[in-house]
Amino acid sequence: MKKRVILLAVVAMFFVSVSSAWAVEDLVETVVKGCEKELTSYCKDVTPGEGRILACLYAHSDKLTGQCEYALYDAAVQLERFVAALSYIANECDTDLEKFCAEVAVGEGRVLKCLDENSSKISARCTQALKDVGAK
């Protein structure tokens, strides 16, 4: 179970890093606070980026405190919510995304900004989805 949660967190951090900067900051903060002891003990010489820190935690999963395990679990839960929200918006706004934002590069909130800039033209279905997930 522990290794599954850590692996999910590794995948989560990679996915979120290409999706949204604000989500990454929240997830990273959760893990850094909860795993401070482990990060300073086992991973202090690891160069951050590309999932190396989480890979280090995974390598030392048998030594993690309950607090760190919980932080990784909490980050994974946050990620699941984020992915569900992204999927919901993508499904509900698919036509609007194709029509108004097809040329927009994904990442750093650009697609959401495009939908916001076209808010008077997007479908009611898309508008409701944005409201439902708190993006509008």
For the segment 20-70, what is each residue's pLDDT rounded down to a tens digit? 545 567 777 888 899 999 999 999 999 988 889 889 999 999 999 999 999
Average pLDDT over residues 108-135: 89
Instruction: Please give the residue that has the higher pLDDT: either 131 or 17.
Output: 131
Does the predicted model carry a pTM greater than 0.75? Answer: no
Tokens representing residue 68 in the block: 């760190």
pLDDT the model gives residue 54: 86
Does residue 10 have a pLDDT over 50?
A: no
